[in-house]
Structure 1
Amino acid sequence: MQLITRMDEVGGAQKHVEALAIKLKQDAYEVTIVTGSYDPSLWRLQDENIAVISIPAMQRAIHLSKDIQALWLLRSTLKIIKPDVIAAHSSKAGAIGRLIGRFLGIPTVFTAHSWSFTDGVPPKKKLMYCQLEKAVQPFTTKIITVSEFDRQLALTKSIAPAHKLMTIHNGITQLADPATLSKNSLECPLIMMVARFEIPKRQDTLLEALIELPEVPWRIQFIGDGSLRPALEKYVTDKGFAHRVTFLGNQTEVTELLANGQIFALLSDWEGLPIAIIEAMRAGLPIIATNVGGVSELVTDTDNGFLIDRGDKELLKQRLRQLLTDETLCKKMGDASERCFLRNFTFSPMYQKTVEVYEQAVSKLSKKGD
């Protein structure tokens, strides 16, 4: 059973769960996804005949009565499904899933897509989630971190012993025909950003920097949706740059859209190992990103892109100007991105390692039962 807090938005964790579930089903595993809010139009799960059970009481925010309701409903659901292993994703689902897993004697594997106590998270929230993770750690069979940064952070914070922690980098499928992604030379380079319009993503930081480069040719397309989008649309219109900025909303497939871009940007206050950057690397794009979480495991500064410290707007403007005005540099860094993707971040190795962790968790419980 794949358990995640919500599937009504497009994010890296949700894409990860979808890809795993589809491949597991193709490999003849029985798969059920249990989630809070669910929007079937965003996913291919129905087409693949993958069962999805929605428990609306399960939500990100701490809410005592709803959390108790979610615990009870999840317990009832698990008693019906009787899964061999619970694969939990995201903090709330991870905590609830591990509690019920221990109660019912089901092994649990928790994938930390980004710790909620990572650098950049507000101090009170950081402390609360650190304590929560320590509390449910004894109920966890194995913890997968999607970046080495997050594994080291968990060790530093004494979240779990080293033998319970394993880094498995995110991976995505290779394209059947990479040649279709040839970049066209444009007089006005197109920047792409794929991210929810929510904290911790910072579309506003990128827009503020670009608007201070009015003499440089640029256009930008934002893929994603969320509560912060309307304010940014108004900001762009008020500043007189609506002709340069396009808001595309949620997109179930970004491959062709990225193929039309020249530069990819992701400026977040914190991250795990962003699948959006891996998708951009697969498309052969140079990357500009904040140096947070595991981003430096994807982007090598001055090789396949530029890393920017959080809040350094002047360096961001300088790096944007470099890529927007140097087509040769864009091509060189884009080629390096694609090579890095093919070498380190394809789907098959990630999938095989993840399935091995699931099977070891089940095996460990069987031996304990013997």
Structure 2
Amino acid sequence: MRILYVITRSDVMGGASVHLLDLASGVQEAGHEVLIVVGGHGIFIERAKERRLTCVSVNNLVRPLSIISDFRCYLELKRIVSAWKPDLIHAHSSKAGIIGRLVAKALSIPCVFTAHGWAFTEGVSASRRFLYRWIERSVANLANKIITVSNYDRSLALRSGVGNADLIVTIHNGMPSVEENSAHKAPSEITRLIMVARFDAPKDHAFLVCALSSLTRNDWTMEFVGDGPTMPQVKQLVTDLNLEDKIFFPGACSDVFDRLSRSDVFCLISNWEGLPLTVLEAMRSGLPVIASGVGGVPEAVEQQKTGFLVAKHDHDGLVSALSTLIGSRELRSDMGIKGKSRFFSDFTFELMLQRTITVYSEVTKV
């Protein structure tokens, strides 16, 4: 089978980008031919080459809505698809999902679209929700199948009139297994907290900083791994709250697994989510999770079993969860063990790959 993937952005490595690279690698290793089309020239292309994946850049595939750029992108993608002649197009991210489905329909090629969290989800501005809900309703049936990464997103689509129950299927995100770190974590009286996330919407680093500043205890440190446009404001907030000796900003790192292995608690505070891969990475590493109970997060994190789910903008609830886990090594260990077990039963890459290839076979009749 020849499968053409399309995704909007090459300049950042978000969850959708990591998901697509993992998926394309797995599909290629399973014996299928793969081509990835992406907008621009950025780090995504470098990562694709490292995995020996063929990647083509298109200049007019950009994130903002633009009638001229979007039409040019449609023509450019149509030329690429016509030349390569895939058996299936699998589109990821909102803009690529729209244009990819239009091209697939025009060329009578089966198409799958994965929604990594809807652009009309709760937490997004009302005007944006209205616009993207209308767009997604209009193009939903151009796909042979829509994959959502959480049951939350599937239910949201159906409630919003996007597609129907037969069209939309949930396939939870999965992460590849990694070789266990043989080095034992050095015992410490300091609880090491970590959040791995881009400094940009929908993440809310500032809210977490404010909660940390309200803790009555001092036996903790916080590491924010990632970069992005809101980092300067968060750094300034840390300075204003006199927390420079407690909160650290290593930037975007290539050793995330090792950093998770050295940590004690994983945090992810967000205004909206699909099903974040970083939560699954943390569970894979045996960490208890404190996360906002938004989107598909509650489908991974079991409340008071593998971590704590905190309501959006619940300052006191977040402070309480932080204090509870910082104060109990035994609870951290118990939740981490249960979270790791849940990862290996429900969120492995192999499970996700198998389910996705089954969808490919259904829509192509192969």
Q: TM-score of the superposition, structure 1-length normalised? A: 0.94
Provide the C-alpha distance between the structure 1 equivalents of 2:133 and 2:145, rounded to a whole number of angstroms: 17
- Runs of 4+ aligned structure 1 residues displaced above 3 Å come to 40-44, 181-184
* Partner residue in 1 for 2:84: 81
Root-mean-square deviation (CA), in Å? 1.6
* Partner residue in 1 for 2:25: 22
**Residue of 189, 192, 195 corresponding to 1:193:** 195
Provide the C-alpha distance between the structure 1 equivalents of 2:309 and 2:12, rounded to a whole number of angstroms: 27
Aligned-pair distance for 1:214?
5.6
* Partner residue in 2 for 1:150: 153
* Partner residue in 2 for 1:175: 178
State the Cα deviation string for residues 192-250 of structure 1 (Å, max 9, x = none): 11111111101111111101226332111111111101121222123221222221222
**Residue of 45, 54, 57 corresponding to 2:57:** 54
Gaps of 5+ in 2: none
> Map of 1:197-346 to 2, 5 A cutoff?
197-213=199-215, 215-346=217-348
Q: Does 1:4 align with 2:12?
A: no
SS, match of residue 102 in structure 2: helix
AA in 2 matched with 1:128: L
Does structure 2 conserve the Cα–Cα contact (< 8 Å) formed by 1:10 and 1:42?
A: no
Provide the C-alpha distance between the structure 2 equivalents of 1:64 and 1:105, rounded to a whole number of angstroms: 23
AA in 1 matched with 2:293: N
**Residue of 338, 353, 356 corresponding to 2:355:** 353
AA in 1 matched with 2:217: E
Provide the C-alpha distance between the structure 2 equivalents of 1:56 and 1:267, rounded to a whole number of angstroms: 33
> Map of 1:30-49 to 2, 5 A cutoff?
30-40=33-43, 44-49=47-52
Change (3 A) 1:43 1:276: farther
SS, match of residue 173 in structure 2: coil
Aligned-pair distance for 1:50?
1.1
* Partner residue in 1 for 2:105: 102
State the Cα deviation string for residues 253-310 of structure 1 (Å, max 9, x = none): 4211110110001011111111110000000001001111111101111100001110
SS, match of residue 199 in structure 2: coil
* Partner residue in 1 for 2:165: 162
Percent identity over the alignment is: 37
* Partner residue in 2 for 1:132: 135
* Partner residue in 1 for 2:96: 93
SS, match of residue 28 in structure 1: coil
Change (3 A) 1:268 1:167: same
Gaps of 5+ in 1: 365-370
Q: TM-score of the superposition, structure 2-length normalised? A: 0.95
Moved more, 310-319 or 251-260: 251-260
SS, match of residue 332 in structure 2: helix
SS, match of residue 138 in structure 2: helix
Aligned-pair distance for 1:42?
7.7
Give the total of aligned pairs: 363
Does structure 2 conserve the Cα–Cα contact (< 8 Å) formed by 1:42 and 1:252?
A: no
SS, match of residue 176 in structure 1: coil
Provide the C-alpha distance between the structure 2 equivalents of 1:29 and 1:336, rounded to a whole number of angstroms: 36
Provide the C-alpha distance between the structure 1 equivalents of 2:362 and 2:39, rounded to a whole number of angstroms: 28
Q: Does 1:114 align with 2:117?
A: yes
